[in-house]
Amino acid sequence: MRQVRSDEGFVCPCIVCGVSLERIFPEHPIQVINEPNNAVTFLSRGQYGSTIFDSFDGNTLEINVCDECVKKAAEKGWVIYNNNNPHKDLPIGKGSFIWNGMDFS
């Protein structure tokens, strides 16, 4: 593995389509590792069923998916929206829902 330093301004590409992503604030003097524009970042501590990564010590994997790939997946019904915030009432109510990428109805 190669260590990534905060002064590199490193951003991972989209894990689905491979498109290169840019930093959200490239002009900002403080560098942040993997803060992409037009993408969603996911952190995972693994999964019990995974055969490649299941962290027991708090370590995480971090990936990006560009907005276009998230939108395409949502249109196919492949994205779950979890409304677990007890302070946020949405028309759909609490729980897990197949997200269409557009609204919460």
Summarised one tens digit per residue, pLDDT across range 21-69 is: 998 887 776 667 888 999 999 999 888 888 888 888 888 899 999 999 9
pTM: 0.79
Is the backbone of residue 18 left (phi > 0), alpha (psi -120 to 50) or beta?
left
Does the residue 12 lie in any domain? yes
The answer to whether residue 83 is domain-embedded is no
In a domain? residue 103: no
**Domain around 39:** 1-76
* CB-based contacts of 12, cutoff 8 Å, min separation 6: 21, 34, 36, 62, 63, 64
Confidence tier at 89 by pLDDT (50, 70, 90): low
Asked if the structure places residue 47 within a domain, the reply is yes
What residue type is assigned to position 29 of the chain?
P
- Domain total for the chain? 1
**H-state helical runs in the chain:** 67-75
Distances (CA, A) of 14 to 31, 55, 78, 83, 87: 20, 23, 17, 25, 32
